[in-house]
Amino acid sequence: MVTSTSTLHKEPQVPADFDPVRIREQFPTLDQEVNGKRLVYLDSAATSQKPKAVLEALASYYERDNANVHRGIHELSRRATIAFEEARGKVARWVNAAEPAEIVWTRGTTEAINLVSAAWGTDNIKEGDEILISVLEHHSNIIPWQLLASRTGAKLKYIELDGQGRLILDNLSALITNRTKIVAISHVSNALGTVNRLKDISAAAKQVGALVVADGAQGAVHAKVDVQDLGVDCYAFSGHKMCGPTGIGALWARRDLLEEMSPYQGGGEMIHFVGREESTWAEVPHKFEAGTPNIAGAIGMGAAVDFLAGVGMESIQEHERNLMAYALDKVGAVNGITIYGPDSLDEHSAALSFTLGDAHPHDISTILDAEGVAVRAGHHCAQLVMQHFGISATARASFYLYNTTEDIDRLVEGLEVVSGIFS
C-alpha cells in the first residue's frame, strides 16, 4: 500500500484518436444528473455501462427476431440462431480461441468457474490432491474450490500477498507440487486492480500437469486477451463487465478438455439422444448449455465485443493507464488517504482501492454519492484481501473507456469534502 505516488509515475500519452467525451455520448445512462450534479460513474469494476450499440442489438432481437434457437424451422428461429452463434464466434475471436466451439455460454464468471469445478473437478480430484488459489481471489474463485475440496478430501493451498497486494511467487516451486491438480488464479484483481503474472503461473503449473483456471472477469475488460498465449486451460469472463448485458458470460476451455468433461447440468438442448435408462450428449459446446439459453444476452455480448473492437483495445488500455497515473497522483495527494495495490502502472489495472482517515468506506461512498460521484464500498467479495491488510473494507473507484481526468477531479473534490468532515 502507498500513501503518495506523485513521484512514481510518468503520465502516458493519450492516443491521438481517442476521445472519451465522444465515447461517453454513446452511453445513455451517463447522460444524467445525480443529486443535481453531472453523474461521474466510477464503479465499472462492479458493472460497466452499456453503449447504444448493445442496447440496439438487444432491442432488435426482441422486436424482430424473438424466437428460440437451434431447432426451429421457421424464419425467426433461423435468424435468432444465426445471431446467437455469430456472437459465439465474436467472443471466440475476442480471446483468440482456436474455434467457436471452445466458448460455452454461462450466466457469468461465477457460473463458468463453478462449471469447471463441478464438471472437471468431480471426475478428476481425489483425496490428497492439492488445489492452489491465492489470497487475492474474488469469492467466486474461492468458494467453488472450497466446496470441491470438502467433497473430495483435496487440500486447498494459497499464494500469499506482499505489502502492495501482489502475489508472492518466489516460492512457487514449493507451492506447485506433483500433488497439485488445479491452479485457479484471477487475471486481474477486482479489489485492488493488481495485474497477476498469469503466464508465469501457468507455465509453472504445466510442469506438473495441473489444470489452470483463470478468472478473467476483470482481465477481459481492460486488455486484449490471448488465451493460447497465456497458456491457461480455462478462462472465465462476464459480459456485463465489458459493456455487455448482465446475466451472460462465457467459459473458454480447450476443446479436448470440454470433450472429456461430464455435463454440468441436464435438460433440453444438451442431449443427442434420450432413452429410458441412459442418454447421450450433444457435441461441445452445447453439452454444457442445458435449457433455453440467454439468447438476447449472448447477442448483446457479441455487440459489446464489436463495440470495444471498434474503439480499439490498445487505445482503451492506454487511456486507462493515463487515468490511473492521474488518479494515483491526484487521489494520493489527498490528506489522510491510503491507497492499496501496486504502485507500478505495469502491475495496476483501472481500479483504485483506498481508505481515508477515520471515515468508514460506506461513509465515503455516501458522501461522494451526494456529490454525484458513484464508487463502490465494502470488501468487494474479497474478504481475504481485506484480512491481509487488517481492514474490513475499502472504497474503490474503477475507471473505463468513458471516464476522463475531469471525473477524477470530481472524485478528488468529493474526497476533500470527506476529509473536511472527518478531520
Based on the fold, state whether residues 322 and 267 are members of the same structural domain: no
Q: Are 198 and 185 in contact (CB under 8 A)?
A: yes
Q: Which residue numbers in the chain have pLDDT < 70?
A: 1-16
CATH number at residue 238: 3.40.640.10
Based on the fold, state whether residues 386 and 279 are members of the same structural domain: no
Selecting among 101, 290, 333, 381, the annotated active-site residue is: 381
Residue 8 domain-assigned (yes or no): no
Residue 231 domain-assigned (yes or no): yes
Last residue of a domain, one of 275, 309, 343: 309
Residue 128 domain-assigned (yes or no): yes
Based on the fold, state whether residues 278 and 362 are members of the same structural domain: no
pTM assigned to the model: 0.95
**Domain range for residue 347?**
20-51+312-422
CA 217 to CA 188: how far, in whole Å?
8
Which three cell numbers mark 365? 461512498
Helix axis angle for 295-311 and 75-94, nearest 10°, is 40
Tens digit of pLDDT for each residue in 243-261? 999 999 999 999 999 999 9
Based on the fold, state whether residues 213 and 167 are members of the same structural domain: yes
Q: Are 382 and 191 in contact (CB under 8 A)?
A: yes
Based on the fold, state whether residues 211 and 264 are members of the same structural domain: yes
Domains identified in the chain, total number: 2
Q: Are 422 and 357 in contact (CB under 8 A)?
A: yes
Tens digit of pLDDT for each residue in 74-114? 999 999 999 999 999 999 999 999 999 999 999 999 999 99
Based on the fold, state whether residues 94 and 218 are members of the same structural domain: yes
pLDDT of residue 7: 31
Based on the fold, state whether residues 47 and 59 are members of the same structural domain: no
**Block residue for cell numbers 493507464:** 321
> Is position 381 annotated as part of the catalytic site?
yes
Residue 331 domain-assigned (yes or no): yes
Based on the fold, state whether residues 67 and 137 are members of the same structural domain: yes
Based on the fold, state whether residues 322 and 242 are members of the same structural domain: no
Last residue of a domain, one of 309, 342, 377: 309
Last residue of a domain, one of 309, 342, 371: 309
Residue 227 domain-assigned (yes or no): yes
CATH number at residue 383: 3.90.1150.10
Based on the fold, state whether residues 238 and 106 are members of the same structural domain: yes
pLDDT of residue 72: 86
